[in-house]
Amino acid sequence: MRVVVDRQGWAMVMLDRDGGDALLASSSPAEVDRALARSIGGSVRPLGGWSGRQMARNWSVVRRSNDWLHRTGLRAQGVVNPDPLRPLMRAAHILYLVVEVSPRNAPNFHLSGAYPERMASGNVYYRRAYFEYPELPGLIGRLRRAPKPPAVTVQAGYTRADLIGVCAPLALVLLLPLAITFWMRARALRAMAAEEVDSATALFGFNRFLQQITLVVWLLWLPLNYGLGLRAILEFFWDGPLNFIPLPFLAYYLPALTTVACTVIAAPVFRRVWDKQFASENVVKDSLLALAMFLPVVFYSVAASCFLDNPYAAAGWAAAGLAVRQGVQRLGRRPVLRVTGGELFEAAQRFSSASGLPPADVLVLPGAAGSFANAFATTGNRVLLTKYLVDALSKREVNAIMAHEMTHLKHKHPMILGATYLASAALSIGAAFWAAMHHVPAAWLGVIQAAVLILSMLGQTMLGRAFERVADAGALALTGDPEACISGLGKITRLNRMPMEWGKWDRYWLTHPSTSQRFREIAKRGGMSEEQVTAAMQAAGGETTGERYNIVVRSAAAPAPVV
């Protein structure tokens, strides 16, 4: 006899082909059902439908009980008592009985009254309680005099101490970073107000703190989430009208919400330097949009996981992923100006031709959204410049920045970086599948994913630094103007309140080499003398004296989306 226990409170009771046929040959189905109902202390009914037909191939009797496990608070309990089956066994001349209790997603499962059996691999897939009668001459007589077999008590669920032991460490991981961020914010604001440090150093240090606290949250969350069994607890409580919500959505978005909250708490520090664009409502919107960008990946993962069991549900999740992706793109779309003529456009096309690229699409990000001096190379052969950069730098310096971005496009750096992000996600999913196939304990799965996260970050930052060096060399080759390369890079660093040199350990976690290191490499490649380097660095720290570009655009009323 096999009893399959589910976390929702129902149980399936099955008799194997030989034993069930023997019982049905000597007793009526109603008698068998009554004996099974007394054995488990609940009503039973035949299991119908497709599942019943599939089970009937291997089992002679398949019954289901919807009221077997009785929930009391946070725990559920049921009893399996083989004794009511003994009269039917004697009538059918059955020599022995094996009772197997198998948990099906039942959390925190325990048996009492019998010894659990472990699989040879050491992982508990199910636990069995055996009640065997020896095959000896005169067995039927001995069976009548056999001692009453013990009842097996099945328990699932959680005590209050269980929940505290799981939730307290996870809550600490989620809430302690918020308190630390409040404390660091107060320190940074006091230091800025007292002018103990310059704004660039304070801002960069605080930004690095946010990155580090985010990394620590994830490195602690992954092993604790798996090792403490948060998923099982969520499944236990989440059954009911909301059980269609994917549990990875909850388990992985809790730490993500913590990082968003830390960013919102930090907004006053950034607003002290950059004012309007770091208004609290803008920070919340941008952070939530960044978080929502990963929602389609979650939905696609859920669709893939349930495709074989429920193709219609999988199609629904995939459609939801596409809809969310379109919505996030619409909400995150910012107005940009498309450069259609003038000297800036001609310079961009000249660099495109020299790099062997088709004509580049030059976009300018205006307004508060473009109040950083920055430039980007994106897929689709696009170069995006912020208006702040074009207004603050001379023509020679803007040319050096554009040539830098054209080199990124020439070597397909945006595409390669995008592929590395996908490879990192595939590696994490592959590690989870490998761990499941090799029955790796849940805590070690979290450790493996944390290690994958660290290695992926280190690999991506190392690749980013290598790409920046290649782009600096390409800009120097396209412009032949090392002084403009150095002064333009220095002005961007100064305008964005960034330090010229990274810390000892920061350089391993940043995608760009430090500005001073890039100065040295450009000067070496350009054959600059010390006097020329000094003059270029002085130009970076002063006001722009050369000619500047006038932007000729198509229309700001028809913004081009940036992907």
Give catalytic residue positions.
Answer: 405
* Residue 38, number of CB atoms within 10 A of its CB: 14
CA 218 to each of CA 26, 203, 257, 469: distance values in angstroms, whole numbers, following the listed order: 61, 23, 12, 30
Q: Select from 166, 101, 155, 77 the least CA-distant residue to 442.
A: 166
Tell me, what DSSP letter sits at residue 172?
H
Q: Select from 466, 476, 373, 350 the least CA-distant residue to 411.
A: 466
Which residue matches tokens 């052969």? 381
Q: What is the DSSP string of 57-105?
A: TTEEEEEEESSSSEEETTEEEEEE--GGGHHHHHHHT---EEEEEEEES
Q: Which residues contact 374 (CB under 8 A, 6 or more apart)?
A: 385, 386, 389, 492, 496
Return the beta strands (E) in 308-462 as ranges: 337-341, 361-365, 375-378, 382-386
Q: Which residues contact 476 (CB under 8 A, 6 or more apart)?
A: 482, 485, 522, 525, 526
Interatomic CA distance for residues 540 and 56, integer angstroms? 81
- Is residue 340 helix, strand or coil? strand
* Residue 365, number of CB atoms within 10 A of its CB: 23
CA 22 to chain CA mean position, Å: 53
User: CB of 1 within 8 A of CB of 86?
Assistant: no
Strands 2-6 and 97-104: parallel
Interatomic CA distance for residues 435 and 439, integer angstroms? 6
Which residue matches tokens 């054995």? 39
In the chain, what is the straight-line distance between the N-terminal and C-terminal CA atoms, in Å? 60
